[in-house]
Structure 1
Amino acid sequence: MNFSLILLTVSTLLCALVDAGTRLRGGSFSSQAVWTVLLGVTSLVFVVLRARIPKQIVGPGALLTGFLSLGVASLVFDPAALNLSLRDQAQSLLVYCGFVGVLLLGAIETYRAKDQLWYLHTGFPRACQCAALLYMVSLVAGPGSALIFGARSFALFALIAISWFLASAHYKYSKDILWAIFLIALVGLSLSRTATVIALVIFPFSRISPHNQKTWIRFFLWAGFIALLAYLAFNFVEPIRARFTDIGDSGQLGGVSLNTSGREFLWQAVQNSIARAPLFGKIIGLGPGATSLVIEGGQPHNDYLRLQHDFGYLGLGFWVLGYVWLIGITFKSWLWSDRYDPDNAHVQLAAFLSLISIGLSMITDNVIVYVFAMSPLGLLVGTAIGLHAAHYKMRNQYLQMMRSLPDVESEAEDWTVAQP
């Protein structure tokens, strides 16, 4: 029995509940907190037991592991971290552990058994569909409803689901475009501004085929259509317009007042805390979860500021470099798969779009501490990298074998055009 695959499968299916687990509590702990602990610990344990990691993920994996090590070190050596409760420290750190653990474990298991991907090809889209239907039901309470799970929580998870269905519609099942459109509509009705904008932006980009210049026509047509829809929604759907323009701590963009929902004051408070920190604290951070001390248990609504505050300049550098490296790997994997492995190109594209979406959402949201978003992101990206590594290795082995036979060398070259 492969317990690693069981863990990945359970993690995938739990995506359907988004953050509903926070409402099921036993004492001071929620069921989601228990799952965060189990996922963070067991995934890393399985990674150590499996040991063999595809070389494609060694670089970013090392940087992200260094990021985790820095978080642990700050708890031990940084006096400022002593002001935090163990619960606050562990909660943040274990979500990061879950992301890195599932990322590495997904790559390892896919590389070892590339055909055992039920959790990805069937489990994940079913979980996304279930989450979408549950949120649609909750909309009986009106736009922005949090009847079943949080509106912003659903919107952030939906960015990964939208990336999957857009990629699947491009390469695999054309009807999945309907699920993508449905999810984008639900994100709009969740009144999450950042997620709505990101979802609309990645839609036209998902229609591009890197080796087919004609698809740029499709890109511009979709971009124009989406821009028209966004214009109509902003001007004629009052809840959506109000969500963007209700005056709080507002700024101006094109003569229109935009409500930042207090983010400007939160960001300033975190920046002030960083400025007051000693040099050692600036370098390695003030400890995982330290931002909760600055804003009294709240969230900073900017994960890059959170990382700089909690993990210092060194930790922020580890995270950004590792994350950008993952974007580069999935982008190159997508280019390769588009030409040589079209059956799996949708997985590579979905991983690439998900990384871009979550990376952008980190500017104004708290996605990095949400296990229901970081777990599926890690699983999708890790699986995509492991799948590419397995097929790339298989192609090279086949070419070496064919080239050892002079009479069929030309046939081997022709085979590379259509096969991975």
Structure 2
Amino acid sequence: MGSTYQLLDEINPRTYIGSGKVQEIMAAVANTGATTVVFDDELSPGQLRNLERALGDAVRLCDRTALILDIFSQRAATREGKLQVELAQSEYQLPRLTRMWSHLERQSGSGQVKGMGEKQIEVDRRLLKGRMARLRRDIEEVRTHRRAYRERRAAAPIPVVALVGYTNAGKSTLLNTLTQAGVLAEDKLFATLDPTTRRVELPGGKALLFTDTVGFIQKLPTQLVAAFRATLEEIKDASLLLHVVDVSHPNAAAQIDAVNGVLAELGVENMPTLNVWNKVDACADPEVVRAVAARREQTVCVSGLTGEGLGEMLERVSAKLQDSMVAVHVLIPYAQGELVDEIHRTGVVEAAEFGAAGTEVRAYVPLSVAQRLQPLRLQTAAAVEEQQRIEAAAAVAAGAARAADAAGAAAEAPT
């Protein structure tokens, strides 16, 4: 029905906006017949109550956080998603319980107990806290289940690539094109709330796991970050982040900053990252966008809808994963041939030679695999020579120290 804004040196602690702007909004509501007023920021409980009194009972007042939580509640499909959204809504609602039931007070106590009984708002607050405690217990069970799943996945390590990005950037469409995953992908906010993991085979036969995560948004409510921590923990266990950007969006730069802010809040801002500029086919001048991306080392242009650029993206993913792996040179006995297969599945093999004692392999593997291969490592000739040089130098130093001790003892001996 309409929109308005106000430039203020500081936020009005009572009504967020100035008193004159409140009167202006009241007049606009009366003239347009609007039934809902949405503020594009989070209102404090006091501001919410004062604005509700000013606008009247016929108008629903909603701030940015309440609107996002409402969208999330509509999108939640699984038990985990519903639990997380309900907890976030409860945490938001607790300090904002209205006094609409304050006229309903419990009977005062009998005998020596005097005074008013428990007010309805206090009952509501107590019940809400109890529900929040139950929700946290249920979510902790989900977190335990996810942790066990990740431990099983780590036992047979396959690199995990997490798709992160602003909501509606095209992460689910990209995953569907790569894997035919059948993930819900629609042109709307927060279409995906629950992480979906699918296996992807690279051209060289190497296997990866791609995980689609919940989309981020500017000024993401803190309640959502806390409630969705079990889901967002999937990002922390990833070997590589694919930051998917809707490069055709006019506010793409601001969306990138918003995603980076959430990643910093999760403590994963320094993880290996490949920037994926999606929807390049929807740009006004795709060639210019591709030219800009070509000048950036960690950026690739794709179209999740048409499949354009996905081959180059997978090559860049393979190269990035190799950079994050550990170089190993091992001799694997034929009796442990399953280790050779694991190296091929989880790492990048540079050379493999079959000898009398076993298979000599030079490869890059994840750290967990490298640690298991430690007893089978072979030292290169240069490494052996360096070790011998260090040991010789240590022997010379020890001999010099013994000679010095002997000379000192001789000097201190009585003549």
Q: Please classify the TM superposition score into its range, dividing by the shorter chain length.
A: under 0.3
The structure with higher relative contact order (CA 8 Å, sep 6+) is 1
Q: TM-score, normalised by structure 1?
A: 0.25
Q: Whose helix proportion is higher, 1 or 2? A: 1
Larger Rg: 2
TM-score (norm 2): 0.26
